[in-house]
Structure 1
């Protein structure tokens, strides 16, 4: 049985500008290439979940514009249920501008647009999408009031809630009380707990702090090193696969989406699900662009056999 995953999140059209190096303040550089693709943390995570085999649906908001129609179509192409996506009649679709240098590092500027307009009551009205899921995933590219409302609905229906607190922001403590699993990177984790992530002991300290704040389960992604996990039953570190990164955009989103496709709602198989998620994100960083480089379950399984 495929996992059922609902994502509440952002829909952005990403424009990637390829440059030799990052510009200095006041400096003008020419770009080597410019490309546009569907993106946004929410959309990326939903596509990663769907391509990894999960039955996926999406709750979000787009503008009444070509970019919005393009985003909905992009999700439809990956067989994601899009009927809970709302069209905002006034505010345009979100967008992001990605500066990508020759070393594969990126800097991203995001315009929230209609993503920021989604209201708590609109989310509550989509109770069926949440109630029918095994997992509800959200990030911080949509308002926290909408997240809190969605997670409360999820908890009423026994749905496992996953919070990706990215981009890092001050968080409503009420959200953490209805979060089953939090998945920050090391910077975001340190920002939320006040404990710098340097080694496994500091990760254990982060897990303890999150438990005090109301979240029993934690996964910290540590870039090319791997991922730390701490559940009520166990904790450990799963190393990343060694690959040559071309573009790290959407690596974290792929990880979360792929993880949700394999994880059991009680998180009892977290270590094996993490290996699958690491394999998926190792494939993403070897391709250009966010969504185009997110792998399918066939590609992930083929890479696992090598």
Structure 2
């Protein structure tokens, strides 16, 4: 069983169903509204846990009802919340999500307490990093804290996975302590300047990360699958064809699935491709369901659909 520590966001998602995402200045009517547990960090932690990993979170919530609800959701999935701290001033993070009829989404995140996690709290969390095999982070918490966590993780011989979302310029120092980076095609373009529509372009974008010290690159390509890139290889791992109704937690489900099955002691081309294929299976089930955390499947459900792997 892999042991995974996630530094990341915990958000309350306010989800609105629409026919189409509105243009600037356009007012539309919504079909429905739901309040659902989310946040990239929490989603990835729950996906890893439901796929069989032992999981702990380093995160921060506000002293409010949303924070209590979201922390209890993690505990329901038996995720360690010892290092989920409470902020005295900032409210728990929120995300406003519009989902259209095709299942595609548009998201605005209000970070709140997620960005308030500080060095003292990271120091308090060192034991969780020591206990982990794999450490995951995204960009819905402060990059300075991610760098501190990843540096400590590498000192302790842990595998680090960075999901650079929302995409922004990355400190090269952080890339040097990142083993696997997992952007989608849009994030890869923002970060490398390379438009990614096919495998050759994915390889070109991947090389930008490799040259900065990242060991492996996995670029998710939606319905096309994922490109897996290393120093001497670049391969596409096809997606599973399904009828997507909501892609909100697709990438998070994928990353959680990957972290639960990754052979962290010996990452190479073959086992990375196998692991990414498993991640594709997990996300293919998630996109057929509504919401973030409610859509994330359990390992037994993945086995029921795809058999043993």
TM-score class, shorter:
over 0.9
Given that 2:10 and 2:42 are in contact with CA atoms closer than 8 Å, whether structure 1 keeps it comes out as: yes
- Superposition pairs of residues 196-207 of structure 1, within 5 angstroms: 196-207=195-206
Tell me, in whole angstroms, the C-alpha distance in 1 between the residues paired with 2:206 and 2:248.
26
> 1:125, CA displacement in angstroms?
2.3
SS in 1 for 2:244: coil
- Superposition pairs of residues 110-189 of structure 1, within 5 angstroms: 110-189=109-188
**Structure 1 spans left out of the alignment, 5+ residues:** none
Tell me, in whole angstroms, the C-alpha distance in 1 between the residues paired with 2:228 and 2:65.
41
Which has the larger displacement, 195-204 or 30-39?
A: 195-204
Task: Determine whether 1:276 maps to 2:275.
Answer: no
Name 1:65's counterpart in structure 2: 64
Tell me, in whole angstroms, the C-alpha distance in 2 between the residues paired with 1:167 and 1:153.
23
Task: Determine whether 1:17 maps to 2:20.
Answer: no
> 1:120, CA displacement in angstroms?
3.0
**Structure 2 spans left out of the alignment, 5+ residues:** none
Given that 1:14 and 1:40 are in contact with CA atoms closer than 8 Å, whether structure 2 keeps it comes out as: yes
Task: Determine whether 1:252 maps to 2:254.
Answer: no
Given that 1:119 and 1:145 are in contact with CA atoms closer than 8 Å, whether structure 2 keeps it comes out as: no
Count of matched residue pairs: 305
- Which consecutive segments of 4 or more residues in structure 1 shift more than 6 A? none
> 1:305, CA displacement in angstroms?
2.8
User: TM-score by structure 1 length?
Assistant: 0.97
Given that 1:7 and 1:42 are in contact with CA atoms closer than 8 Å, whether structure 2 keeps it comes out as: yes
Tell me, in whole angstroms, the C-alpha distance in 2 between the residues paired with 1:85 and 1:251.
24
Q: Deviations along 1:175-218, whole A, 9 cap, x unmatched? A: 00110110001111122122221322222222221111111211
SS in 2 for 1:175: helix
Name 2:238's counterpart in structure 1: 239
SS in 1 for 2:223: coil
> 1:234, CA displacement in angstroms?
4.1
SS in 1 for 2:237: strand
Tell me, in whole angstroms, the C-alpha distance in 1 between the residues paired with 2:232 and 2:78.
35
Name 2:29's counterpart in structure 1: 30
Name 1:77's counterpart in structure 2: 76
Q: Deviations along 1:108-132, whole A, 9 cap, x unmatched? A: 1110000011123321321110111
Given that 2:199 and 2:234 are in contact with CA atoms closer than 8 Å, whether structure 1 keeps it comes out as: no
SS in 2 for 1:224: helix
Tell me, in whole angstroms, the C-alpha distance in 2 between the residues paired with 1:19 and 1:288.
13
What RMSD in Å do the two structures reach over aligned CA positions? 1.3
Given that 1:57 and 1:81 are in contact with CA atoms closer than 8 Å, whether structure 2 keeps it comes out as: yes
Name 2:288's counterpart in structure 1: 286
Given that 2:210 and 2:230 are in contact with CA atoms closer than 8 Å, whether structure 1 keeps it comes out as: no
Given that 1:124 and 1:153 are in contact with CA atoms closer than 8 Å, whether structure 2 keeps it comes out as: no
Name 1:40's counterpart in structure 2: 39
Tell me, in whole angstroms, the C-alpha distance in 2 between the residues paired with 1:202 and 1:234.
13
Q: Deviations along 1:242-274, whole A, 9 cap, x unmatched? A: 000000100000000001000011323111111
> 1:43, CA displacement in angstroms?
0.4
> 1:293, CA displacement in angstroms?
0.6
> 1:48, CA displacement in angstroms?
0.3
Tell me, in whole angstroms, the C-alpha distance in 2 between the residues paired with 1:289 and 1:126.
30
SS in 1 for 2:49: helix
Name 1:210's counterpart in structure 2: 209
Tell me, in whole angstroms, the C-alpha distance in 2 between the residues paired with 1:34 and 1:26.
21
Tell me, in whole angstroms, the C-alpha distance in 2 between the residues paired with 1:86 and 1:41.
17
> 1:233, CA displacement in angstroms?
6.2
SS in 1 for 2:90: coil
Tell me, in whole angstroms, the C-alpha distance in 2 between the residues paired with 1:185 and 1:219.
8
